[in-house]
Amino acid sequence: MVWPWRRKSRRRMARITIEGAIASTTRKRVLKALREVQQREFPALLLRIDSPGGTVGDSQEIHAALLRLRDKGCHVVASFGNISASGGVYVGVAAEKIVSNPGTITGSIGVILRGNNLSKLLERIGVRFETVKSGTYKDILSPDRALTAEERELLQALIDSSYDQFVEAVATGRGLSTEAVRQFADGRVFSGAQAKELGLVDELGDEERARALAVELADLDEDCKPVTLGKPKKQLLSRLPGSSLVNRLSDMLETELSHCGQALWLYRP
């Protein structure tokens, strides 16, 4: 017996969306959907990205899963929506082709790590931390003191390593040299039109154009409609007026708070 969710879909196209900041919740949802794409043998995947980026590890795992899916013969086309920056770019360059709106905000290729130095505030209100640690750097980025020169050098080396991984992924995915990528991978953002000139995207167009391109690559019927997999669960806030902005701010805040002190591939307007 073949279970319904494992039925073969050789003449159909899958669609997965990545919206908001990329963190563990997004990673789990997308990886589960990608497994379904593989199990049901979809010949093409339309990947819609509308994200400012997110955590390094989560972005890398989605990127790796997309490459494995392509190795199985599935054609992956990414469609950049309103924004596809930083970690959104990292995920996107795993696609065979990228289609972007001319006005899409993209780029922001780089890594950022932030902590909070609240030492002056804590001193003013009479709060002191007593720290017992096993090693010199165990309390690095603690909010009650500034970084030492040695700590800053250590963290910079961490960021540089992560940045090199990002540049290599973009260069490999887009068929560019690492030197060419480094020329524009300094954290700046581009419009979709500028990104095409740089070789970061293949075509300018909307999601419908990306769908049509996937149809061409997989030799599907022209009117083939995508089957959306891994839909995000709707939150209570999503039913309220202005919920889109509220949810977006909520995602950004959650990523900021839960990953404070971690390296992020996240566009910060």
CATH code, domain with 194: 3.90.226.10
Based on the residue annotation, tell me whether 142 is a catalytic residue of this protein.
no
Cα of 9 vs its chain's centroid, Å: 27
Asked if residue 245 has pLDDT above 60, the reply is no
Return d(Cα 264, Cα 267) in angstroms, integer: 9
What's the pLDDT score for residue 5? 43
What's the pLDDT score for residue 233? 73
What's the pLDDT score for residue 3? 43
Asked if residue 239 has pLDDT above 60, the reply is no
Return d(Cα 134, Cα 234) in angstroms, integer: 44
pLDDT band at 19 (very low <50, low <70, confident <90, very high): very high
Is 237 a domain residue?
Answer: yes
Is 118 a domain residue?
Answer: no
Is 114 a domain residue?
Answer: no
Is 255 a domain residue?
Answer: yes
Instruction: Share the mean pLDDT of the chain.
Output: 88
Domain that holds residue 223: 9-109+188-266
Is 104 a domain residue?
Answer: yes
| Number of domain units in the chain | 1
Region 220-239: mean pLDDT is: 80
Asked if residue 1 has pLDDT above 80, the reply is no
Based on the residue annotation, tell me whether 231 is a catalytic residue of this protein.
no
Region 215-224: mean pLDDT is: 94
Return d(Cα 91, Cα 84) in angstroms, integer: 9
Return d(Cα 103, Cα 176) in angstroms, integer: 23
5 burial via Cβ count (<10 Å: 0-12, 13-18, 19+): exposed
Asked if residue 46 has pLDDT above 60, the reply is yes
For the chain, percent of residues with pLDDT exceeding 90: 79
Is 216 a domain residue?
Answer: yes
pLDDT band at 114 (very low <50, low <70, confident <90, very high): confident
For the chain, percent of residues with pLDDT exceeding 70: 83
Catalytic residue among 8, 28, 138, 231: 138
Pairwise pLDDT comparison (145 vs 260), residue with the higher score: 145
Catalytic residue among 51, 59, 84, 86: 86
Q: Are strands 75-85 and 44-51 parallel, antiparallel or unpaired?
A: parallel
6-10, 104-108, 117-121: least confident range: 6-10
6-15, 133-142, 179-188: least confident range: 6-15
What's the longest Cα–Cα distance across the chain? 70
**Amino acid at site 265:** W
What's the pLDDT score for residue 6? 47
- Residue 210: partners with Cβ closer than 8 Å, 6 or more residues away: 46, 48, 77, 78, 79, 97, 99
Is 42 a domain residue?
Answer: yes
Structure-derived torsion over alpha carbons of residues 205, 206, 210, 211, reported in degrees to the nearest 10? -140
The CA radius of gyration of the chain, in Å to the nearest whole number, is 21
pLDDT band at 232 (very low <50, low <70, confident <90, very high): confident
Is 161 a domain residue?
Answer: no
Region 20-47: mean pLDDT is: 96
Concatenating the DSSP letter of every residue in the chain gives: ---GGG---TT-EEEEEEESSBSHHHHHHHHHHHHHHHHTT-SEEEEEEEE-EEEHHHHHHHHHHHHHHHHTT-EEEEEEEEEEETHHHHHHTTSSEEEE-TT-EEE--S-B------HHHHHHTT-------SSTTTTTT-TTSPPPHHHHHHHHHHHHHHHHHHHHHHHHHHT--HHHHHHH-SS-EEEHHHHHHHTS-SEE--HHHHHHHHHHHHT--TTPPEEE-SPPPPPGGGGSTTHHHHHHHHHHHHHHHHTTTS-EEE---
pLDDT one-digit tens code per residue, 166-198: 999 999 999 999 999 999 999 999 999 999 999
75 close to 45: Cβ distance less than 8 angstroms = yes
What's the pLDDT score for residue 265? 63
